[in-house]
Each structure stands twice: as structure tokens, then as C-alpha cells.
Amino acid sequence: MLPLPAFADNYIWMLHDAQDAVVVDPGDAAPVIEALRRTGLRLQAILVTHHHADHTGGVRELREATGAVVHGPAHESVPEPVARMAQGDAATVLNGLRFEVFDVPGHTSGHIAYYCPAVPGAAGATGPVEAASPVLFCGDTLFSGGCGRLFEGTPAQMQASLDTLAALPGDTLVCCAHEYTLSNLRFAQAVEPGHQALLHYLSECESLRAQGRPTLPSRLATERNINPFLRTREAAVAQAACGFDASVDPGDAVQVLAALRQWKNEFR
């Protein structure tokens, strides 16, 4: 599984079986075409999580060049033809890998995510290669240390979407679409300044970036431990949100998330 850098901070995820490949959210065709040339792989399928141009801009060119089948959200405008996917559907790719589809609105109104419980040979940035790992392609819903901006959805939708993803197994590899980790973790420090697991993870990620390596994928267990947007029911996070906005009910996870998201929007 390869993160192909694109634009300033995007990753286009490429999953392959040594012959065929699948890519996720190809906002730019060029990095994919170069990777296919370099590896000799054939592009079989494209998975799209949402309609933003930095996730769909290369879809048409790649489909025309390779004949790849495109899977995308049922309720958003993405380049046709596309196999429309929604909660309860599944995209089967490569040698029978079945990616379940979750509706995860919030960043956009029709955002979806793809989850496979066992992908052979997948490995995290700081973890060893395993026989198989659960893999989550979550687009811009969940980031390492953060979550997406609420461009079209509501805080209640985002809270529900994050709850859905947080319920997946802890060893799930979180393959999000942007290298936002360090800035997200600096915000997380402001929310929970004394959180030792967060400080340790920040140090690991700073070391990876200093070596020019991606911080992704992360592990869902790590995110549940350090990501404030997955910790809206933790007392320390709720109290920090109240410090930003005194009107927040600390017992209401949706209000806490809304305050955190606004705080992050303004955070420098």
C-alpha cells in the first residue's frame, strides 16, 4: 500500500496485488500514471470518497487511460460513469478484497468511507508489516489528530460519522487523504496539554516528517487515544471546549465537537 504525494499535502492511496492496483481519491492523474509506469501495475479501480476537486480531478483522465472502474458516493457529483455507493454497499477489488461502504457526512453532505477487515501486507508508518490488517480509506472525515472542516454537514452528522469510524477495530490502518498530522497534533496539545500519549505520538510524527516520511497511515487505537475529535466525551476535552466557548454543555458531545471544530478553524 503506497501513499502517492499530490499537490501540497494530499495523499493518493494505491493498493495493489503485484499485478493490479486500486487508487483512492486521485485529485491529480500524474502521480498515479508515474507510479503505474514505475511499477508495471495495471489500474483496475478507483475509489472516491467525496466530490472535492483535490480528490476527483484525475478521475476522468485515469479512467480514459486505463479503463478503470470508478466507485463513488451515491449522492455527490463525481465524474461519470461511476458505480454509486452508499451505506451497506461494498466495492470488491483486486483478488476479492471487499471494501464495505459507510456513509460519513460532515465534511461534505454525501461523504463515504471504505473499510476492509483484512488487507494482506498492509503496514502502518510506525508499525511492522503484518499478514493482514484492517484498512480504512476515510478521505477528509477523519485525520490523524483531527477531522475535516464542516463545509456542508453539521456537527451532529460529523459526531455520528466519527462514532461510526471509532467503533472499528483498534488495529485498523487509518488512511486519510492529507498530511495534516503535525498541525492537528499541535492543536490537540492545546486541548490536552499534559496528555503523555499525545506528546509521545507528536514526537514520533515529528521524527517521521524530519526524515521526509509520511505520518500515515495511523492506527485507530492511537486516534482514539490522542485525537480530540474522537474524545468529545472525555472530561478533559469537554472542559477545554468550554474554555473556548462558555456556552457549551460539557455533557453534549455534539456541542463539544462543534466548539472544537470552530477552535481549530481559528487556531494558529
Catalytic residue of the set 52, 71, 111, 195: 52
- Cell triple for 121: 501486507
Q: What is the pLDDT of residues 55-95, one digit of tens each?
A: 999 999 999 999 999 999 999 999 999 999 999 999 999 98
Helix/strand/coil (H, E, C) string of 156-216? HHHHHHHHHHHCCCCCCEEEECECCHHHHHHHHHHHCCCCHHHHHHHHHHHHHHHCCCCCC
- Cell triple for 262: 470552530
The DSSP result for 110-159, as a single string, is: T-EEEEEEEEET---SSS---SEEEEEEEETTEETTEE---SSS-HHHHH
Q: What is the pLDDT of residue 268?
A: 84
Domains and CATH numbers, the chain: 2-266 (3.60.15.10)
107 is catalytic: yes
195 is catalytic: no
Catalytic residue of the set 51, 54, 103, 111: 54
Q: What is the pLDDT of residues 134-165, one digit of tens each?
A: 999 999 999 999 999 999 999 999 999 999 99
Longest CA–CA span in the chain (Å) reads: 57
User: What are the φ/ψ torsions at residue 233 (nearest 5 degrees)?
Assistant: -100, 0
Report the share of the chain in percent with pLDDT over 90: 94
Model confidence band, residue 229 (pLDDT cutoffs 50, 70, 90): very high
- Residue 16 CA to residue 8 CA, distance in Å, equals 24
pTM: 0.95
Catalytic residue of the set 16, 51, 71, 107: 107
140 is catalytic: yes
Cβ neighbors of 36 (< 8 A, separation 6 or more) are 21, 42, 43, 66
54 is catalytic: yes
Mean pLDDT for the stretch of residues 116-120: 94
Average pLDDT taken over every residue of the chain:
96
- Residue 29 CA to residue 189 CA, distance in Å, equals 36
Mean pLDDT for the stretch of residues 11-30: 97
Catalytic residue of the set 55, 71, 111, 195: 55
**Torsion (CA) 185, 190, 195, 200 in degrees, nearest 10:** 30
Q: Which of 90-94, 124-128, 187-191, 256-260 has the lowest mean pLDDT?
A: 124-128
3-state DSSP assignment of residue 234: coil
pLDDT for residue 130 is more than 70 = no
Cβ neighbors of 131 (< 8 A, separation 6 or more) are 120, 121
Q: What is the pLDDT of residue 216?
A: 98
- Cell triple for 239: 472542559
- Cell triple for 125: 508508518
9 is catalytic: no
Burial degree of 96 (CB within 10 A; 0-12, 13-18, 19+): exposed
178 is catalytic: yes
